[in-house]
Amino acid sequence: STEDPATTLKVCAHLPPRLLRDSVTAATIALDYKWSLLGLEPGTPAWQSAKHKTHLRSANRLQELCFRNGGIYIKLGQHIAQLEYVVPEEYVKTMRESMLKRCPVSSYEEVREVFAKDLGESPETFFAEFDPVPLASASLAQVHAARTHDGQKVAVKVQHDHLTDTSVVDIATVDLLVNALHYIFPMFDYRWLVDEVRESAPKELDFLNEAKNSEKCLNNFRRLSPHIASSIYVPKVYWNLSTSRILTMEFMDAKEVTDVRGIKEIGIHPVDVSNLVSKAFAEMIFKHGFVHCDPHAANMMIRPMPQDSRKFFGWKRPQLVLLDHGLYKELDYTTRISYASLWKALVFADAKAIKENSVKLGAGEDLHALFAGVLTMRPWQRVIDPSPDHLVLDRKTTDYSELQDYASLYFSEISELLRRLPRVILLMLKTNDCLRAVNHALVGGTSLESFMIIGRVSSEAVLDAKRMSSRSFLNRLMIWLDEVMLEARFFSLKLILFFMQLRNLLPG
Ligand SMILES: Nc1ncnc2c1ncn2[C@@H]1O[C@H](COP(=O)(O)OP(=O)(O)OP(=O)(O)O)[C@@H](O)[C@H]1O
């Protein structure tokens, strides 16, 4: 993967210990499952308990492997941490508790080395000030505060050294690990995750690609969603101070999206933030077809809308700052419209359309109900329940252990579903999970308002598609009628929401 002989030597030196560690971990995990479940009747309480304990032990082993190997492995661990209800809960929890928090930190010497290799000089040459202590460190890079010679405060994201050199070896060894486990346990099929990392890692490791994505994202909002474009922001890129491993951008002074107390302190209501996040991602998914696929809390910031002193019921309007544009997915037109139609059907509990669009996306007739369940976290009976809040997940009223039981009960069906769905939809599931976690932190669940937003934006995308393909007067009339019906539906939902809020305000 490299032309520099010294680096080639280093890469070769990485291979044997990684392969050895991978093989030992894979073999230990495989043997543990075989041994612990030996002679137990699947589905019985004894089997469930043994499986739970083995999942926990294996998740810890995998986590240790990720830390020991570093680099792409940490990225893989982060993927797993965000696949709630898609991979067993024990893995999600273990990875979530560690991967998003414990990240590698490069020394300032290593940072200077990256600068010397990429720009030919040390950071001090390019910046008037450069803080040697990173303000944040993540899986692939760390971010330093700096000031340009003309006095602008900037954030400089510097990639951990040698990541690009070891990524090929990393992916090859992960591939081996996952394939070996799949060979032993045909039910364990996460080869798609490796394919995904193989495809996305080189893109994520190229910061010029990330910079281009950030500008494209903002342009899409301006072109395709002008009504909310001013509420979305991405830091300005300093192209002359950026390379594929160094990204210099405007410094953002804003709160992390889930910092509820901090957000309130700057005069912004968490419900407005939750609605803005839902709107922004619904627009990206259903209308732009170009989607930020890593929307975890650390990648979204909130600040008051600049140059806007207006207040609504005493609260300022929020602006959402999107960071980390390394991982984007494009939905082709047909997939985007089928996905929008599916979400529209889910929000309006339209069983026939749910089935039709699930089949179009590849879930198959037999697994459409499970697909709906994975997307909404609700059992099928609840998905098709016509009450307006049928999809709402509320911290107070939802029994999460029931959801987790559901995921573990249908483990093999979920694996089969994941095998059938296109990878781009799997990434949408991950985006979905990240957004659910953000909404959870902000408002304690996915509110009826969030679903109304998803319903509205997905319906608009479906109507736009119909409009584009219809020529005759009769067709246009039908579309107009559809629009009127839709508005009537949303009006009644808003009324219900209003009365629900009123009921919550009343004592008792
Ligand atoms: N422009 C900026 N202004 C202020 N802080 C920033 C800026 N860019 C990044 N940061 C801080 O640095 C952190 C890490 O940045 P970023 O998410 O881009 O790195 P990463 O290596 O791609 O992370 P990940 O592990 O999510 O892939 C952010 O969570 C944020 O706290």
- Write out pLDDT tens, residues 264-310: 999 999 999 999 999 999 999 999 999 998 888 889 999 999 877 67
Pocket-testing residue among 142, 163, 324, 431, ligand 1, by greatest number of atoms within 8 A of Cβ? 324
* Residue 391 confidence (pLDDT): 67
* Residue 498 confidence (pLDDT): 77
Nearest C-alpha neighbor of 18 from the set 156, 169, 135, 140: 169
> How distant is the alpha carbon of residue 496 from its chain centre?
31
* Residue 11 confidence (pLDDT): 55
Share of the chain above pLDDT 90, in %: 44
Atom 5 (ligand 1): residue with closest C-alpha?
Answer: 252
Ligand 1 centroid to residue 103 C-alpha, Å: 12
* Residue 372 identity (one-letter amino acid): A
Q: Is the CB of 79 under 6 A from ligand 1?
A: no
- Write out pLDDT tens, residues 368-410: 998 998 888 877 887 887 776 766 665 555 555 555 566 666 7
Q: What value of ipTM does the predicted structure carry?
A: 0.96
What are the CA-CA distances from residue 120 to residues 117, 125, 133, 265 (Å)? 6, 10, 21, 43
* Residue 145 confidence (pLDDT): 97
Tokens of 58: 């294996």
Q: Half-sphere exposure of residue 353, counting CA atoms within 13 Å on the CB side?
A: 18
Least confident of 52-66, 136-150, 433-447, 480-494: 433-447
Q: Is the CB of 450 under 6 A from ligand 1?
A: no
Q: Give the whole-angstrom CA distance, residue 284 versus residue 219.
A: 11
Q: Active-site positions?
A: 294
Q: Is the CB of 206 under 6 A from ligand 1?
A: no
* Residue 384 confidence (pLDDT): 82
Nearest C-alpha neighbor of 344 from the set 489, 478, 496: 489
**DSSP assignment of 72-139:** HHHHHHHHHHT-TTTS-HHHHHHHHHHHTT------HHHHHHHHHHHHSS-HHHH-SEE-SS-SEE-S
- Strand partners for 159: 141
Atom 19 (ligand 1): residue with closest C-alpha?
Answer: 138
Nearest C-alpha neighbor of 229 from the set 320, 294, 340, 304: 320
Ligand 1 centroid to residue 376 C-alpha, Å: 29
Q: Is the CB of 249 under 6 A from ligand 1?
A: yes
Atom 16 (ligand 1): residue with closest C-alpha?
Answer: 324
Q: Is the CB of 157 under 6 A from ligand 1?
A: yes
What are the CA-CA distances from residue 317 to residues 53, 264, 267, 312, 314 (Å)? 47, 12, 9, 7, 10
273 backbone φψ class: left, alpha, beta (φ>0; ψ -120 to 50): alpha
Strands in 367-422 per DSSP E: 393-394
- Overall average pLDDT of the 79-100 stretch: 78
Ligand 1 centroid to residue 135 C-alpha, Å: 9
Ligand 1 centroid to residue 31 C-alpha, Å: 39
CB distance 235 to 250 below 8 Å:
yes
pLDDT of 430 over the 70 cut: yes
Strand, helix or coil at 319?
strand
> How distant is the alpha carbon of residue 52 from its chain centre?
26
- Overall average pLDDT of the 29-50 stretch: 89
Ligand 1 centroid to residue 324 C-alpha, Å: 6
- How wide is the angle at C-alpha 183 spanned by C-alphas 179 and 189, nearest 5°? 60
Q: Is the CB of 26 under 6 A from ligand 1?
A: no
Buried-state track 373-406, b at ≥16 Cβ within 10 A, e below 16 = bbbbbbbeebbbeeebbbbbbeeeebeeeebbeb
Q: Is the CB of 434 under 6 A from ligand 1?
A: no
Tokens of 392: 């709402």
* Residue 1 confidence (pLDDT): 41
Atom 1 (ligand 1): residue with closest C-alpha?
Answer: 251
The residue with tokens 């998905």 is 383
Pocket-testing residue among 296, 323, 430, 431, ligand 1, by greatest number of atoms within 8 A of Cβ? 323
What are the CA-CA distances from residue 66 to residues 54, 424, 485 (Å)? 18, 25, 52
Q: Is the CB of 500 under 6 A from ligand 1?
A: no
The residue with tokens 């050294």 is 161
Pocket-testing residue among 82, 135, 157, ligand 1, by greatest number of atoms within 8 A of Cβ? 157
DSSP secondary structure code for residue 1 in this structure: -
Pocket-testing residue among 75, 76, 294, 299, ligand 1, by greatest number of atoms within 8 A of Cβ? 299
Q: Is the CB of 138 under 6 A from ligand 1?
A: yes
- Write out pLDDT tens, residues 473-502: 888 888 889 889 888 888 887 887 777 767
Q: Is the CB of 324 under 6 A from ligand 1?
A: yes
Q: Is the CB of 258 under 6 A from ligand 1?
A: no
Tokens of 378: 């609700």
